[in-house]
Amino acid sequence: MTTGRAVRLEASEQGGRQTAPLPQEIIVIDDDRALLELTLLTVRAGGYRAVGFHDPLDALMWASDAEPTCIVSDLKIPGVEGLDLVAAFCALNRHAVIIVSAFVDVRMTVDAMRLGVDDVLPKPASDESLIRAIERGAAALPAVPVREDVAFTRRERQVAELMLAGNTTKQIAQTLALSPRTVEFFRASLLRKTQSPNSAALAS
């Protein structure tokens, strides 16, 4: 069942393996709607609840308020560069982050692990390997959200500098060769991390 941009699928009461309950739904992000639905069905069959997103900004906003859970994310999503999306998830410092990508190689895996990613799976991942990765991530989740010093990605720092210089979203996008939507993604991430209500407050 699809409600707005989020696809909510409750855990099945019959069938599938039963796993320890999580305090929050598993978050799944994929711009391919068909693959997103299939992944959500796999998570449900494994005994978990799940919420799916096509839009990375919506997913980040959801994750920023969520209790510790697992995030299963595609890597190549239009409008977001490389590992920037998973870096933002890892910076929350309380979720288990799992990448499922058709572009898995040694360098990408090493870079992802340095960011704090818990698992990297080739796409398409088998049902069994995905559920095992979620089980490992769930087992390592903190009982209470862990808050540490705010960490910013390279792109967030670039966007912040241009924001503080008074540049508009369009100007920042042109300067960094990004889409305006990607700039909005980083702007929202910066406001969340600094707990600023708006860009003006961030500059003060």
Structural domains of the chain in order of their starting residue, each with its CATH number: 2-139 (3.40.50.2300), 154-203 (1.10.10.10)
Tell me the two tokens of residue 48: 């978990």
Of 118, 114, 76, residue with least CA distance to 95: 118
Backbone angles phi, psi at 99, to 5 degrees: -95, 135
Of 65-69, 80-84, 167-171, minimum mean pLDDT range: 80-84
Sheet holding 26-29, edge to edge: 2-3, 6-9, 50-53, 26-29, 70-73, 96-101, 119-122
Model-level pTM?
A: 0.65
On the CB side of 85, CA atoms within 13 Å amount to 31
What pLDDT is stored for residue 63 in this prediction?
Answer: 87
In this predicted model, what pLDDT tens digit does every residue of 80-95 receive, in sequence order? 777 888 888 888 888 9
pLDDT beyond 80 at 203: no
Neighbours of 125 (CB within 10 A): 21
What pLDDT is stored for residue 42 in this prediction?
Answer: 94
pLDDT beyond 80 at 204: no
